[in-house]
Every structure is written in C-alpha cells, then in structure tokens.
Amino acid sequence: MPGMYEDSEMIGAFLDEVEEQLQLLEQGILDLEQNGETPSVIQKIFRAAHTLKGSSAAIGYDKMTSLTHEMENVLDKIRNNSLSINIAIINILFKCLDCLRLLKEGFGENKNDTNIENSELVGELKLILTNQFEDQTLKLPKGDSSEKDNEELAFILNDDGKSIMESALKGGHNCLVCKVKLSEDSFMKATRACLILSDLNELGDVITSEPNVFLLPDDSNVTKINYLLITKMNPEALESKARESFMDVEEVKVASYKIKEVDKKVNKATETSIEISSSDKNKKASRTVRVDIERLEEMMNLVGEMVIEQTRIAQVGNVLHSRYSSDSTIDDLLGISNHVSRVVSELQETVMKARMLPVQQLFNRFPRMIRDLSQSLNKQIDLNLEGGDTEMDRTIIEEITDPLIHIIRNSVDHGIEEPELREKRGKALKGTLKIRAFHQENHVIISIADDGSGLNLEKIKDSAIRKKVITPEKAAALSRSENINLIFETGLSTTENISDVSGRGVGMDIVRSHIDKLNGIIDVETEEGKGTAFTIKLPLTLAILTGLLVKIHQEIYALPMSNIVEIVRIPASEISSVKKQSVVVIRDRIHPLIWLHDYFKLPRKKSTKNIFIVVIGVAEKRFGIVVDKLIGNQEIVVKPLGSYIGKVEGVSGATILGDGSVACILDVVGLSRMISSKIVEENIILNIAEHNNLDVEKIKNSKTFGGN
C-alpha cells in the first residue's frame, strides 16, 4: 500500500474522483433539504457515498472508507423507507461532507496519516441507525473534553471560511486561535462565551468558535472555548489585551494557527483537464486527459511568441509588397502569411479554451454557503444563479473566488434583512440574492445583487470619520459615489451586531486588492431600503491581453483594454489645474488627469487644440491619461521586465511589436494608487467645483473620481 502513495498519477486520479463525488453529494443533500425525499435524489447521494467508499478503500484511505461506509448505511435505510429524513440528519450529512473535504485535503498532505478525526461523526451515524440519534444529538460537546495542543486543534471550516482566512493572511493579517477557559463559578456561561466573541471582534474578526457559541443552550456548562480569528495583532499583544478585557475567565492562551495546504504538486496535476466528447452521443461518459497546468502555461507562452513573430512577418510582407508590388513571389508570401495568421489564431484560441473553465464550478459553492449562512442568521434567502456556462481563464476564477465570497457574505449578513423586518417594510419574507455571469466583448461581467436594506451612506461616512479614514472636512466634500466607495477602505465597518459570518472591515479591502491584481473594475450601485448591486468587469485571460497602443512624444505605450472605460477628445481649454493637479469634467464627472509626459520626463506637446484622453478604470477608481496619438488595438503578449532592469514605477511589463520594437505596458494599478493618494491628500474635488464655478452640490452628488 505505501507504494500506492508514491504514485502521483494514482493519487491525482483519486483526488479528482473524490472532488467530483463531493460535488454530487453536496448538490444531492441540498436537493434533499429543499425538495424533500425523492427516490432519484436519495439514489444519487447513495451512489456518491458508495463510490467514495470504493475509491478510498482501493487506495487504502481507512478514515474516508469508514465514514462513507456509515453514510452509505444511513442512506440505505432512507432509501428503503426504514428511516425518515429530518433536519438533524441533513445537518449530520453536511457535517460528514465537510469532514470528507478535510480528509481529502489531509490525504494530499499526509496520506493515511492525517490527524483529522472522524470518530465522532461515525458514532453519530451509528446512533441514527439504532434510533438513538435524537436523544444524543441534543447534547452539545463539552468544551473540556479535549486537551489537544494547538497543533492538533482543527476547526471544521467551509471553503468560504478557509478562503477568507487565506486572503486575510495574504493581506498581512494574522490567523490566531484564542483558547479561553471560563471560571467554574461563572453564571450563564453561554452568554459569557458570546460576550467574549463580541470582545474579540473588537480586536479582529472571529471566523468561528469550537464549540459554536451561538448554538450553546442557556444552561450550558461549557468551560473551554476556542476562537479562530483574523487580526492585525500578534499573539502576545492579543493575549495581553484579552486578559485585560475578559471577565469571569480562569485562563487565556493565544497562538498562531496554520491552515494546512493540499500537496501543491498533486494539485497542479489535477487542476485542469481537457474534455473530449465521446463519439456516442447516447453515452453520458466523457474521456478526459489530465494535463499539468505548467504544460498549458508553457504552451501559452509559445503561442504568445508565435503571435509576435506572425505579426512581424505580416508587417515585413506589407513593406516588401509596397516596394515590389509587381513581384508575384511577394504575393505568394502575403498569401502564406495570411494562412499562418489564421492557423496561429486558431491555435491560440484552442490553447486558451484549454485554460478556460465554466464559472459553474465556482457557482457550485454558493448554494451550500447560502444554506449555511441562512441557518446561522435565521434568514430566508432565495439564491438565483445565471450564466454558469460562461467561461473564464482558470487563473482568474481562482483569484476572483475570494472577492465573490466576501461580497456574498456581506450581502447576506448586512444586506438582506430578517424575515420580521422585511415583513414590516412590505417586502417578501424571503430575500433574493442574484448572481450573474456573462460575456461582454473580451470581458466577463459578474454581478451580485440583493434586495436588502441597501447601504446607509451616512453611517459609512460617520464610521470613516470615527476610524480616522477621512477627516470631517473631506467627508463633507465627498460625492455620492465616493461615499459608497469608502466601503473598500481598510478597517471600515458599520456593523453593530455580533456575528461570526462577515468581517469587521477586512473583506472589502481584500475585494479591491484582488480586482486590482486582475486589472478589473468594480462598480457599486445602492438604494437605501431596496438593495445593493456589485458589478465586476474582468478580462477573459491574463496570458494574452488586448491592448490599446498609444504614442506619447516619440514613444509607444500599451494600455490594457480591460481597464479602458472610454476615450474622449476635448479642447485643451477644458482642462483645469487645481493645486498643480490637472483635472477635467467629462459627462458631469470629475476626473484627475495624468500627463505621462511629465511622469516619464518626456517633452510635453504644446497645443490649444483637441487632446486625447483615455479614461481608465481600476477597481472602483476612475482617472484620465493624456496621450498624443491613438495607434490602435493589438493583441499583446506580456513580458516581464526581468531582474536586470528591476521594477519600474508606472510600467508592469513590455511587449514586442510587429516591427521588432519594444513597447512598455503601463501599470494602471500603480498609476491609480499614485493619483488616488494625491486626491485624498489635497482634497481636490471640492476645489475643482469652486475653481470652475460649478454647482458644488451637483458635483458632490455626481459620479466623480472613485465613482462608477
């Protein structure tokens, strides 16, 4: 059996099979809860559990085999009408699903030596079989039943919980576990546990607790609780602060908590598969070839080189034709060049399709997540998913997962109201969350809209002032859209309720940083009392970009088309200067301008005639770039500058043009940060309005820099 564990192909195939069956299990259990018992659904769940049992037994993974065996026994009784389904059994099945996911990840890291325990769940499943389950499940686990060290402590987290933690760690936060032992003589221990969670939320963002303090009965005698949280504080500082703040506790210990990662080598071999449809349409089976993602990356790089060389060949052919138009050999060369161009385009499209995945793979995570959030928050939510067949580059899907989870959790926790409040407001008891994906030219649009309470802009502004994100004077000059976009500032939150669902100002900052990284744009629309909608615009792929080539002085630069909102040509007289910052009003929106001539120390063209301005969008920000000439669109292959040149401010890479010359690709994210910092420091928006004799209130209520 140990030899099996060394066979990476067998392990990869096993993990592929497990993931497929886990998705079927999750979908089946959700169907069972929402639509009741139907033979087809029960059979689907039973078959998935049976397949998992067989696969894990074949590879010798005993913990997964024992758990799925007991699941199979329970499902068999349900299938044979010997057992009636209820919410308690549904919850146990979901707990089994979570444990199976942990076991899958644990296998990738430790094979059969994983320390993830399944004995409690196996015991609960056996109790179901002996009709003793109801009496036993009323008893919550005692906090003092475990004396495990922190290294052995494992929290059962859903994928969204783990994603939040991983994103926070990337953003410079610490993931800590706070172990609290309550005094034996403490009254109302369950209430005290909730108060401690509230105190910890003031110091960070509690992800979960073990046991879950919100599920403790009022007469609980629990004394030990472990809280998992994200915070900027280090363990020593948090422990010191906690000792000062907590009441009726005997002991407080804080330590770092590490998220275990799946074996990356195995992951890389299993992340991408190319599907080949079977010739027999009546068969549902399909043949797949598993391809290491690094090979696809290498293929994409080679295709990129071919695109560059093909463009150069075409340009050389055109030059030769202009010089020797009567030579038939040149005509043959142009014909061959055109044919090669078509072949390269088809090859590029084929390789890109191999990198593409339907967003349905991402959408599949949301029904379970919404179900769990609805239960924990006592809300009724109808989830509508559209456009699951929309395809995106797998790299972008991975990067956009965390931002979508943050937005969804915030919409459910802070947006959609409780049923009682919705009834008072004349709304349907069940709230609606709609998530759509669709193609728009060379981009993918993802929208998340809820019919909840909307954003309270005054509350957001007050919170920003209180947290010293902005001064009262600057707050008074904010436009509506700038006011909305304060939600993306680090540490900003308006929530007053205790909750372990959404963060305390951590999430939306992460949303912005991820969308920045993807050269994307995010817009927010809200109406108080009616709901909020987030619209995210992303490129189809990051491997080959469609760029706009522009000329500044004698130099050619490339701008990613995914960040271009519009291009305008205006008289130079319409450009104003406020505190040495050039600005322009375009369609009632105030845009700060960047003169790249000054930024790159190039001679500025003096002209009183019309000037080209490329309006750029980065996440929620908007600004303009002044250029001398528009050359046109072109597919560009991004090349890093290399360690020899190092990082160049304002430049993200380079590309080779058809004539062999090199064009720099502008770093629109870096430029947006530079201009944003200057705007905030100088409070320029209000000065612009006064300078242009415009209606200040109109400007403050229009969509300005930072707007949509």
Which residues are designated catalytic?
50, 72, 410
Exposed (0-12), middle (13-18) or buried (19+): which is 23, by Cβ within 10 Å? middle
Distance of CA 532 to the CA centre of its chain: 18
Question: CA-CA distance, 123 to 128, in Å (whole number)?
Answer: 9
**What's the DSSP call for residue 36?**
-
75 three-state secondary structure = helix
Task: Give strand pairing partners of 446.
Answer: 437, 536
Element containing residue 696 per DSSP (H, E): helix 696-701
Strand, coil or helix: 605: coil
Report yes or no: 596 and 551 within 8 Å, Cβ to Cβ. no
Residues 450 and 433: beta-carbon distance below 8 Å = yes
| 152/154 Cα distance (integer angstroms) | 6
Closest by CA to 566, choosing from 591, 531, 534, is 591
Longest dimension (CA), the chain: 102
Q: How far apart are CA 495 and CA 462, in angstroms?
A: 12
Helix, strand or coil for residue 43? helix
Q: Which residues contact 522 (CB under 8 A, 6 or more apart)?
A: 511, 512, 515, 534, 535, 536, 537, 619, 620
Dihedral of alpha carbons 45, 50, 53, 58, sign: negative
> Backbone phi, then psi, for 181, in 5-degree steps?
-115, 115
**Hey, what are 199's tokens?**
């105190």
The enclosing H or E element of 35 equals helix 8-35
Tokens of 12: 């990869």
| Joined tokens for residue 313 | 């060949």
Q: Residue 565 to residues 400, 540, 618: CA-CA distances in angstroms?
A: 21, 16, 10
Length of the chain in terms of residues written: 708
Q: If DSSP states are collapsed to H, E and C, what string results for 90-106? A: HHHHHHHHHHHHHHHHH
Please, which residues have CB within 8 angstroms of residue 544's CB and are 6 or more apart in sequence? 300, 303, 304, 307, 348, 352, 635, 636, 637, 638
Helix/strand/coil for 365: coil
